[in-house]
Amino acid sequence: MHYKTNRLNHDFQIVYFLAGSCHTPDAAYSLLCDMKEDRSNAIKSYHASKLREQAKLVRATRLLESEDEAERLEGQADVAEMEAATETGERNYKAALAELATIDTCIKVLEPLRKYKHLPDPVAHEAAQAEDWKLELIHRAENCLLTTGAISTDHFATMRLHPEFKTEILPAIEEIQRLMSLPDGRAKLLGSISTRKFYLPELLEGEGRASLSEISSDDPS
């Protein structure tokens, strides 16, 4: 179920469906960097909004002391609006902190496995594209062949654009088709795709997963 409850993404979504959907540690790291920047900016924006609320409260307090009834009512309305928004703002802030902690935990686990960690981040993000896209396109081919028995035209057109189509992607597709032609080929293929070389949830098991649970919780209170 996709519900927010003050979060942009819950821990489960981050670990299994977002960073966990990447095929290489470097691609997962790049995705997490995007998410970290977004949550960091949300936290910074919260602090800025608190300052604006303080300024608004000062103005509202002055209106409450006005001899003009309309101005006093406006002051009361401003105070009521701020009180209503404060609780939600606090929950959003705590949820952003929890989400950021999860992201940082995932990055820490990935860092030793990164192929391009010696490069500056902008260069590393670019360098990770080709391999992860290659593996993603092979992954899509597996899904297509296992479910419909054929690769759709649009997916195949995308695969052909990859520079490693002839050397890596097409041979992988042919191997999948060969396996599926065997009596027990489908079972073998299902077994092979269930053992990914890189799978973030497995990396977070044990000590990593424990620290994830301790640092971050879906309950922002």
DSSP state of 148: T
Provide the token pair at 120.
């500056």
pLDDT of residue 4 exceeding 90: no
Instruction: List Cβ neighbours of 72 (8 Å cut-off, separation of 6 or more).
Output: 63, 64, 65, 66
Residues 102 and 211 occupy one common structural domain: yes
Q: How many whole angstroms separate alpha carbon 71 and alpha carbon 76?
A: 9
Give the 3-state secondary structure of residue 68. coil
- Closest CA relative to residue 29, chosen from 100, 109, 135: 109
Q: How many whole angstroms separate alpha carbon 145 and alpha carbon 141?
A: 6
Residue 6 lies in a domain: no
Residue 221 lies in a domain: no
Provide the token pair at 38.
């977004």
Residue 52 lies in a domain: yes
- pLDDT band for 183, please (50, 70, 90 cuts): confident
Residue 73 lies in a domain: yes
Domain count, the chain: 2
Q: How many whole angstroms separate alpha carbon 22 and alpha carbon 135?
A: 9
The whole-number pLDDT of residue 174 equals 94
Provide the token pair at 93.
């802030």
pTM: 0.83
Contact predicate 18/35, CB 8 Å: yes
Residues 106 and 132 occupy one common structural domain: no
pLDDT of residue 165 exceeding 90: yes
Residues 113 and 18 occupy one common structural domain: yes
Residues 102 and 87 occupy one common structural domain: yes
Residues 90 and 167 occupy one common structural domain: no
Residues 133 and 188 occupy one common structural domain: yes
**Range of the structural domain that residue 102 is part of:** 11-117+201-215
Residues 62 and 147 occupy one common structural domain: no
Summarised one tens digit per residue, pLDDT across range 18-53 is 999 999 999 999 999 999 999 999 999 988 888 888
Summarised one tens digit per residue, pLDDT across range 87-104 is 888 889 999 999 999 999
